[in-house]
Amino acid sequence: MDAETREHGDAESTFDSHVAECQSVSAGPRHRVAASVLKWLVHICRFALAALFLFAAGAKLTILKKFVGNVAELLSSMHINYERWQWPATIAVIVAEVIAALLLLLPKTVRLGAIWAGALLIGFSAFALYYTYGLHGEPLECNCFGGIIASQLGVTTALRNLALLIPAVIVFFGARVRSPRVSKGDLDFSGPPSRSGF
């Protein structure tokens, strides 16, 4: 009776192991495909955001005096001494964009770069809405991308920046994914486990 019970238990264990192995084989390719798609999506969003911030910073440098004049108007609308702060504010914006690009490009600081980029986008959007509805400022070209992409500071600018939060969020959460670890079911044992003689 004990022998039959043991044989029955061994048969059930073998059956369960085969079922688990089949499930692992069927789920493995799908998991790898999903992980590969996510990996490429994160890379595309990451490098696209970095290129966008570098492009924005470079475009501002090409029309630096005009951009400084816009910053001066914005500071004046907030009753801030623009003669003193127009250049520091301009330099701060350009440097912040370059830092965002560098953090996104460096593998060890990708998630920090996504946070920094998201903070800049939210800050730019908030200021655009504040200038339009809080200060009731006159229409002003933001020159965010120099003279290449013309847009007025306001709702359109805010919505564009908020839309760019989507790739930043993808980078932030997607960069956390690690390569799947090898599970016990994926290990290939050359033979049955040895039984002790105890």
pTM, two decimal places = 0.71
Taking residues 17-39, what's their average pLDDT?
Answer: 63
Determine, yes or no, domain membership for 197: no
Tell me what pLDDT residue 158 has: 87
Q: In 3D, which of 147, 159, 118, 182 has the Cα closest to residue 55?
A: 147
Determine, yes or no, domain membership for 182: no
Determine, yes or no, domain membership for 187: no
Q: Give residue 143's domain range.
A: 2-177
For the chain, the domain total comes to 1
Taking residues 134-157, what's their average pLDDT?
Answer: 75
| Percentage of the residues of the chain whose pLDDT score is greater than 90 | 39
| Structural contact between residues 103 and 110, judged by C-beta atoms closer than 8 angstroms | yes
Determine, yes or no, domain membership for 45: yes
Residues 6 or more apart from 63 whose CB is under 8 A from it? 143, 146, 147
Determine, yes or no, domain membership for 185: no
